[in-house]
């Protein structure tokens, strides 16, 4: 780089800091004495893993450009930052490196804060929040107690996903293909007392709101679809099947296909269903087989693929419409206890899982829906799940599936054996973690009083720091004193809950704390929150589509229910933007070892190990990750190019929602551009002289280009099309470069340059600020308003002229405005479609900039 980015960037970061320009008051007054509108722009808070990575740089630059732009547009912009500081990696690092999770976390925060600051983000650091700070988590302990009082927290013995390597319970979302999301080890099922949040109480509301404003307009469809699928609304029927020989006893199933009732050939119950216990009580012979079924249970996705297994209970139920038909009752591994009623009726002909099960246990397969163009249907190994015409179904034959469903529903209602109903796939949110580095759950177990929440005046329940991390399991269990306490109610000896909260609990409300970060008496003042919430624009990764983003939506509703707001604020994030990933090619040596980009070089067509002849395999570009060694460290980019180049490059290459393919060449090119801008602005003088008469055509063109740039870039920033904004800024730069620095151009050139600095300022704040100063300004560029454009200058300088022959339109031409009549006449007479239609020309009428009419004899 030829311009002194190092000194410039440090200088301006310090100046902004001294001027306190990013310290945001809750009410800001503009120059006219009016309150500026408040706006909240937020990026997802980082986990303090050690260093920021390129993905962070992209994410935070996106938010920062928008924040700086909106600020210039007159908003009082809240743009805070904090740390999602609890979690497993700190414990793992602590064990591996023999440091305390807290010191590991705090020193990472120091490092990462420094890196973020050197990128020049317009963050109000006075509002920084760290979730592992007792000053923060004491309030979530209070929330937990409030939720408990409101019936939104439950403690239940529940089947959980147990990660044998991490020695912890995982949320369903943390199980990927039957394996722990971090450990990659197959999860087991265990039954443990767990705390959970009743997110299912809000299933319908969370689902419906996805299709209401503002989410409908301002959240990506992709994310709304993912949430919709995750919440999983199914409309269907609940049907009761009477148990044969047990007067008044029935099994209730949930089905979305009541039309297939005549194809039912068995009933299946989930292995962990409460009913199973009573069935087994009278059938000790089945207990061993049942244990084997239990041992196999993993998550649903895996079970869907696994071989179908079950055991015959010996019970049977009566078919609701066929008096002489009874169905056997099985316990089956593919039925989940948490869905519907945990019981289903199997219809092998039309459900693949049921068919696999029927084949394994030799059960009947009765087709009841026939494909429309076929007269009959035989089922072999594949179930027919399509639409069709009813067969083998007394009273329904010949009807469509939809008609059959309506009819069966009517029959069920009539006989009082079933009802219409909706079921949701969403499960309650298990929040207990058997880990140390988290927020203690504020509960005491007393032999006399039972489960007692810790009263508010005894919060926080601080996490003890003197723990032994070398023993397996949760260090809080092994701590000699911490868990022994007295019961808040009866003052007798009692023990603390040693589980900690899922860290998603912390990230479900941090954005509220930013509004009022220093409040010591409550999580936040509702009046202050009302000034800022909801977040106007949230920016983060699509990987949070169903975890964090759903939990935060639930939290707002739960907090509303507990009276935390003046007026309920259902949605935390009005606008959501999910940026693409930063990708890079991968390199591997012959033996498959991953190689860093610095370790390889291109030689002709091939890639080789730097400084050797050893060939290297090049893989396609994938998300940068440490494991594949295809990362580029932001610290190195900063050292070689500086923050402005890094920021500009991040915004230049691809639309922000798409993946960005990292290229060293692209970064170079961006650096060259800023060097050129620097040279242009510093290598000559930029007099401020007053307007010197009429502009030349060249000057007018630059004037037009400048106003057009303002107009275009403004729209691009508004629409988060930052790459298009950069392209438009470069167009203006090129236009400016082409106009020679003659005295008659002085004014327009200076105007163009200043405009360029202003429109680029949100992306490259340091270099533009420096050049602004060098142009003689004593104000900070960051405090300048967004430039306005004059619509008069946007009028295109070309016009469309109609070409007529004897008053009839024969063509049009687009020409420069203000052409001479003779030039227009010449053009018209040369136009192919005019030539075709004229014989002898009598007269030519020209209305400049509009029309040429040729009066002529027809062509012979």
The contact set with ligand ANZ (CB under 6 A) reads 234, 254-257, 260, 270, 335-336, 339-340, 342, 344-345, 347, 350-351
> Residue 446 CB, nearest distance to Zn ion (Å)?
3
Minimum distance from CB of 334 to ligand ANZ (Å)? 6
d(CA 266, CA 565): 51
Give which of ligand ANZ, Zn ion, none residue 260 binds (C-beta under 5 to 8 Å, depending on kind). ligand ANZ
Closest to ligand ANZ by CB, 408 vs 838, is 408
Nearer to Zn ion, 453 or 526 (CB): 453
Partner whose binding site includes residue 49, from Zn ion, ligand ANZ, none (CB under 5 to 8 Å by kind): none
Please report how close the Cβ of residue 462 comes to Zn ion at its closest, in angstroms.
21
Query: Least distance (Å) from ligand ANZ to the CB of residue 304?
Result: 9
Do residues 266 and 349 touch, judged by C-beta distance below 8 A? no
The CB-of-393 to ligand ANZ minimum distance in angstroms stands at 12
Contacting range for Zn ion; rule: CB under 5 A; set: 234-242, 440-448, 606-614, 635-643: 440-448
Q: Which stretch binds Zn ion (CB under 5 A): 192-200, 415-423, 488-496, 838-846?
A: 488-496
Among 175, 409, 487, 856, binds Zn ion (CB under 5 A): 487
Q: How far is the CB of 93 from Zn ion (least distance, A)?
A: 38
**With respect to ligand ANZ, which residue has the nearer C-beta, 39 or 261?**
261
611 CB neighbour count, 10 Å cutoff: 8
Q: How far apart are CA 29 and CA 128, in angstroms?
A: 24
Separation CA 586–CA 584 (nearest Å): 6
Nearest partner of 500 among 187, 87, 82, 91, judged by Cα: 87
Structure tokens at 750: 């200076």
Distance of CA 583 to the CA centre of its chain: 18
Which of ligand ANZ, Zn ion, none does 255 bind, CB closer than 5 to 8 A by kind? ligand ANZ
Pick 377 or 449: Cβ nearer Zn ion:
449
CB of 531 to Zn ion, least distance (A): 42
Torsional sign, CA 122, 126, 131, 136 = negative
Least distance (Å) between residue 235 CB and ligand ANZ: 8
Residue 234 or 806 with smaller CB distance to ligand ANZ: 234
Find all residues with CB under 8 Å of 278, minimum gap 6, and list them: none
H helix or E strand, kind and range, residue 154: strand 153-163
645 binds, among Zn ion, ligand ANZ, none (CB under 5 to 8 A by kind): none
Burial (CB < 10 A; 0-12, 13-18, 19+), residue 822, is exposed
Contacted by 226, from ligand ANZ, Zn ion, none: CB < 5 to 8 Å by type? none
Minimum CB–partner distance for residue 141 and Zn ion (Å): 19
Residue closer to ligand ANZ, measured from CB, 367 or 699: 367
> Reduced to 3 states, what is the DSSP secondary structure of residue 800?
strand
**Partner whose binding site includes residue 350, from Zn ion, ligand ANZ, none (CB under 5 to 8 Å by kind):** ligand ANZ
SS3 helix, strand, coil % of the chain, rounded to 5?
Answer: 40, 20, 40
Q: Which of 100, 359, 425, 489 binds Zn ion (CB under 5 A)?
A: 489
Q: How far apart are CA 807 and CA 121, in angstroms?
A: 63
Name which of ligand ANZ, Zn ion, none residue 475 binds, using a CB cut-off of 5 to 8 Å depending on partner kind: none
Closer to Zn ion by CB, 385 or 492: give it.
Answer: 492
Bridge partners (DSSP) of residue 129 are 82
In the complex with ligand ANZ, the residue whose CB is nearer, 202 or 339, is 339
Binding at 422: pick from ligand ANZ, Zn ion, none (beta carbon under 5-8 Å per type): none
* Closest to ligand ANZ by CB, 271 or 642: 271
Minimum distance from residue 451 beta carbon to ligand ANZ (Å): 30
Shorter beta-carbon distance to Zn ion: residue 455 or 563: 455
342 binds, among Zn ion, ligand ANZ, none (CB under 5 to 8 A by kind): ligand ANZ
Report in angstroms how near the CB of residue 320 gets to ligand ANZ at its nearest. 13
At 19, which helix (H) or strand (E)? helix 5-19
The residues near 134 (Cβ < 8 Å, ≥ 6 apart) are: 460, 462, 463
DSSP 586: E
**Closer CB to ligand ANZ, residue 298 or residue 837?**
298
Q: Do the Cβ atoms of 78 and 128 come closer than 8 Å? A: no
Nearer to Zn ion, 268 or 446 (CB): 446
Q: Kindly state whether residue 449 participates in binding Zn ion, applying the rule CB under 5 A.
A: yes
Q: Which does 329 bind (CB under 5 to 8 A by kind): ligand ANZ, Zn ion, none?
A: none
Burial of 657 (0-12, 13-18, 19+ CB in 10 A): middle
Query: What tokens does 384 get?
Result: 């027919």
Q: Which is nearer to Zn ion, 165 or 492 (CB)?
A: 492
SS3 573: strand
Count the Cβ atoms, other than its own, within 10 Å of residue 617.
Answer: 13
Packing angle of the helix pair 643-652, 54-72 (nearest 10 deg): 90
DSSP-assigned letter for residue 15: H
| Segment holding 713, helix H or strand E | helix 697-718
Which option in ligand ANZ, Zn ion, none does residue 215 bind, with CB closer than 5 to 8 A by kind?
A: none
Sequence-distant (6+) residues with CB within 8 A of 159 are 189, 190, 191, 272, 297, 337
Q: Which residues contact 39 (CB under 8 A, 6 or more apart)?
A: 70, 75, 76, 77, 78, 536
Partner that binds at residue 112, options Zn ion, ligand ANZ, none, CB closer than 5 to 8 Å by kind = none
Q: Are 150 and 562 in contact (CB under 8 A)?
A: yes
Residue 489 binds which one of ligand ANZ, Zn ion, none, with CB within 5 to 8 A depending on kind? Zn ion
3-state secondary structure of 771: helix
Helices 697-718 + 722-738 axis angle, to 10: 170
Q: Which is nearer to Zn ion, 452 or 695 (CB)?
A: 452
Binder among 490, 530, 794, 845 for Zn ion (CB under 5 A)? 490
DSSP label of 554: H
Pair 143, 197: CB distance under 8 Å: no
Q: Which of Zn ion, ligand ANZ, none binds 345 (CB below 5-8 Å, type-dependent)?
A: ligand ANZ
CB of 344 to ligand ANZ, least distance (A): 4
Binding site for Zn ion (CB under 5 A): 446, 448-449, 487, 489-490
């Amino acid at each position: 780089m030829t311009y002194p980015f190092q000194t410039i960037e440090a200088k301006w970061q310090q100046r902004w800091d001294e001027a306190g320009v990013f310290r945001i008051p809750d009410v800001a007054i503009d120059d006219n004495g009016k309150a500026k509108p408040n706006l909240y722009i937020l990026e997802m808070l980082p986990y303090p893993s050690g260093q920021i990575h390129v993905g962070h740089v992209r994410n935070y630059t996106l938010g920062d450009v928008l924040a700086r732009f909106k600020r210039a547009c007159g908003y009082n912009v809240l743009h805070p930052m904090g740390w999602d500081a609890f979690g497993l990696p700190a414990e793992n690092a602590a064990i591996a490196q023999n440091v305390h999770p807290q010191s590991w976390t705090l020193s990472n925060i120091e490092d990462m804060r420094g890196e973020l600051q050197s990128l020049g983000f317009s963050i109000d650091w006075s509002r920084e929040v760290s979730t592992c700070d007792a000053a923060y988590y004491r309030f979530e302990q209070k929330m937990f107690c409030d939720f408990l009082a409101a019936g939104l927290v439950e403690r239940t013995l529940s089947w959980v996903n147990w990660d044998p390597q991490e020695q912890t319970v995982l949320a369903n979302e943390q199980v990927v293909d039957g394996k722990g999301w971090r450990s990659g080890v197959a999860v087991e099922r265990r039954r443990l007392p767990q705390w959970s949040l009743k997110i299912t109480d809000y299933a319908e509301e969370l689902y419906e709101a996805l299709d209401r404003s503002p989410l409908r307009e301002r959240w990506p469809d992709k994310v709304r679809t993912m949430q919709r699928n995750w919440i999983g609304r199914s409309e269907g029927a609940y049907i009761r099947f009477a148990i044969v020989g047990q007067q008044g006893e029935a099994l209730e199933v949930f089905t979305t296909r009541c039309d297939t009732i005549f194809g039912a050939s068995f009933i299946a119950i989930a292995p962990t269903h409460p009913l199973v216990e009573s069935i087994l009580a009278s059938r000790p012979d089945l207990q061993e087989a049942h244990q084997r079924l239990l041992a196999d249970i993993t998550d649903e996705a895996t079970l869907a693929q696994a071989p179908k297994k079950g055991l015959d209970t010996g019970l049977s139920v009566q078919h609701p419409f066929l008096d002489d038909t009874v169905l056997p009752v099985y316990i089956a591994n593919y039925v989940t206890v948490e869905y519907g009623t945990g019981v289903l009726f199997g219809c092998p002909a039309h459900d693949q899982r049921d068919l696999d099960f029927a084949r394994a246990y030799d059960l009947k397969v009765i087709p009841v829906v026939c494909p429309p163009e076929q007269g009959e249907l035989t089922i072999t190994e594949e179930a027919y799940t399509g639409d069709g015409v009813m067969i083998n179904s007394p009273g329904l034959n010949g009807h469509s599936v939809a008609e059959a469903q309506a009819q069966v529903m009517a029959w069920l209602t009539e006989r009082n054996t079933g009802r219409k109903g909706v079921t949701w796939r969403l499960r309650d949110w298990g929040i207990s973690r058997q880990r140390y580095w988290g927020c203690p759950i504020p509960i005491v177990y007393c032999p006399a009083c039972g489960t007692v929440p810790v009263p508010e005046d005894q919060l926080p329940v601080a996490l003890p720091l003197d723990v032994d991390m070398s023993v397996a399991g949760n260090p809080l269990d092994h701590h000699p004193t911490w868990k022994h306490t007295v019961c808040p109610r009866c003052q007798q000896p009692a023990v603390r809950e040693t589980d900690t909260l899922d860290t998603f609990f912390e990230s479900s409300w941090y954005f509220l704390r930013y509004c009022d970060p220093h409040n010591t008496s409550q999580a936040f003042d509702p009046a202050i929150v009302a000034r800022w919430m909801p977040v106007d624009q949230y920016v983060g990764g699509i990987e949070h589509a169903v975890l964090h983003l759903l939990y935060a939506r639930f939290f707002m509703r739960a907090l509303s229910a507990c009276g935390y707001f003046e007026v309920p604020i259902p949605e935390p994030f009005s606008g959501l933007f999910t940026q693409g990933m930063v990708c890079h090619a991968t390199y591997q040596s012959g033996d498959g070892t991953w190689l860093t980009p610095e370790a390889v070089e291109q030689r002709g067509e091939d890639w080789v190990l730097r400084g050797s002849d050893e060939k290297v395999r090049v893989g396609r570009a994938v998300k940068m990750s440490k494991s594949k060694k295809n990362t580029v460290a932001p610290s190195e980019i900063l050292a070689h190019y500086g923050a402005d180049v890094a920021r500009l490059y991040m915004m230049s290459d691809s639309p922000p929602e798409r993946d960005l393919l990292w290229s060293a060449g692209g970064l170079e090119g961006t650096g060259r551009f800023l060097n050129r801008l620097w040279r242009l602005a510093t290598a000559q003088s930029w007099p401020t002289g007053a307007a010197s008469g009429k502009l030349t055509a060249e000057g007018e063109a630059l004037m037009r280009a400048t106003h057009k740039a303002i107009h275009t870039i403004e729209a691009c920033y508004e629409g988060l099309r930052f790459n298009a904004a950069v392209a438009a800024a470069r167009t203006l730069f090129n236009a400016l470069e082409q106009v020679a620095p003659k005295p008659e151009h002085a004014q327009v050139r200076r105007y163009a340059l200043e405009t360029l600095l202003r429109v680029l300022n949100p992306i490259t704040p340091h270099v533009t600020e420096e050049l602004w100063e060098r142009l003689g300004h004593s104000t900070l560029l960051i405090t300048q308003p967004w430039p306005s454009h004059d619509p008069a200058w946007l009028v295109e300088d070309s016009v469309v002229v109609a070409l007529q022959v004897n008053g009839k339109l024969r063509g049009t031409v687009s020409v420069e405005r203000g052409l001479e009549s003779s030039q227009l006449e010449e053009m018209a007479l040369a136009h192919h479609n005019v030539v075709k239609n004229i014989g002898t020309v009598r007269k030519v009428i020209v209305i400049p900039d509009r029309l040429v009419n040729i009066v002529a004899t027809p062509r012979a």
